[in-house]
Amino acid sequence: MSKESGKKSKKKSAMLTVVDALNEDAGLGIATINRAVQEDLGVRNGDIVQISFNGESAVAVVEEGSHRSDSHTALSAKTHGQLGVSSGKQVRVSRAEVAEAKTVVLAPSVKLPESAVQDDWNAHLRNHLSETSLTEGAKVWIPIPGMECRFSVVDVRPKGVVRVTRNTEFTLEE
């Protein structure tokens, strides 16, 4: 609540049209945003933004894109895939408040073969997701012996956008 107005402050967001990112940004989880929009949202290069489309949510690292108009954002292929969004569609972009992940619950997209089961999933997942920002509903690809598997983020604690650290505990759902 703002002391001056007595009203709850509303999180700033912008509706931006998706365009394809540069090939070199394909798997990096980047959202390229014009400097003027960055200023409006209160973000700068390297900050985390939350991007929403049709009930799905993803997080991406902000990169300046002066070659883009104020109404466009270039999303990396990784972020396109997480949201299920294509070029030309509108997404809502807002600054993400990122907390340290205490717990993350993941569900694999396929039944994992017995040979893929790790003795220490927490160490394996922390190793591959270290410093990654996640939110409930996000999709992540994790290499496991003999395959790479897509996992859905079922739950995060605390709620909202979190960053995986060496202290994060993981749970796998079947």
Sorted by where each begins, the domain ranges of the chain are: 13-96, 99-172
End-to-end CA distance of the chain: 41
pLDDT for residue 4: 41
DSSP SS3 for 33? strand
Q: What is the pTM of this model?
A: 0.73
Please state, in angstroms and rounded to a whole number, the distance separating the CA atoms of residues 45 and 41. 12
Residue segments in the chain with a per-residue pLDDT below the cut of 50: 1-9
Half-sphere exposure of 44 (CA within 13 A, CB side): 0
One of 3.40.50.970, 2.40.40.20, 3.50.50.60, 1.10.3720.10 is the CATH number of 13-96, namely: 2.40.40.20
pLDDT of residue 78: 72
Half-sphere exposure of residue 129, counting CA atoms within 13 Å on the CB side? 32
CATH number of 99-172: 3.10.330.10
Give burial (CB, 10 Å; 0-12/13-18/19+) of 171: middle
